[in-house]
């Protein structure tokens, strides 16, 4: 029976994936929650959205770098270089998404018009969502 062959992940796999997923929760979940709270935050004053965005950045950028570090740990732990070519293609697309997510979000923080801010925020969040979905597929 299938259930009899299932086993628990090792301690290091549990730590590695928990850190990766926790950082994804802060980076992506935080973006979605902050975007959802924005109409309420605006009612607190003209500079409230900027202050909240800056405070969120102090949490989200460290989470992004935890994602990158634990991501390389993931690749090494699963011996990505020995995986199938479809796995490595998905990994390559995921890396592209991570770069677009990081650059898009950075450009969002530097944008000077509301339109540019919105476009870069959307691009960063969309690319992160794709990276997350591809990550789940890579974990198999």
Q: Is the CB of 19 or the CB of 48 nearer to ligand HEM?
A: 19
56: nearest Cα among 27, 89, 19 = 27
Helix (H, G, I), strand (E, B) or coil at 8: coil
Question: If binding is defined by CB under 6 A, does position 90 make contact with ligand HEM?
Answer: no
| Cα–Cα distance measured from residue 33 to residue 42, given in angstroms and rounded to the nearest whole number | 14
Instruction: Considering only the stretches 50-58, 72-80, 104-112, 114-122, report the one whose residues sit in contact with ligand HEM under the rule CB under 6 A.
Output: 72-80
Helix 85-110 × helix 48-77 angle, to 10°: 160
Task: Name the residue nearer to ligand HEM (CB basis): 52 or 66.
Answer: 66
Interface residue with ligand HEM, options 60, 104, 124, 132 (CB under 6 A): 132
Q: What CA–CA distances, in Å, run from 9 to 6, 16, 72, 83, 125? A: 10, 11, 19, 19, 30
* Span 38-67, contacts to ligand HEM by CB under 6 A: 67
Write out the residues near ligand HEM by the rule CB under 6 A: 17, 20-21, 24, 28, 67-68, 71-72, 74-75, 78, 80, 98, 101, 128, 131-132, 135-136, 138-139
């Amino acid at each position: 029976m299938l259930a009899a062959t299932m086993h628990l992940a090792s301690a290091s796999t549990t730590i590695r994936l928990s850190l990766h997923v926790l950082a994804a929760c802060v980076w992506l979940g935080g973006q979605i929650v902050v975007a959802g709270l924005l109409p309420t935050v605006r009612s607190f004053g003209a500079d409230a959205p900027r202050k909240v965005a800056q405070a969120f950045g102090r949490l989200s950028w460290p989470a992004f770098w935890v994602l990158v570090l634990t991501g390389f740990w993931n690749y090494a732990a699963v011996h990505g270089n020995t995986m199938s070519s479809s796995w490595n293609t998905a990994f390559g697309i995921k890396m592209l998404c991570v770069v677009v997510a990081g650059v898009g979000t950075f450009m969002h923080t530097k944008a000077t018009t509301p339109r540019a801010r919105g476009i870069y925020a959307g691009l960063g969040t969309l690319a992160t969502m794709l990276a997350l979905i591809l990550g789940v597929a890579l974990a198999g």
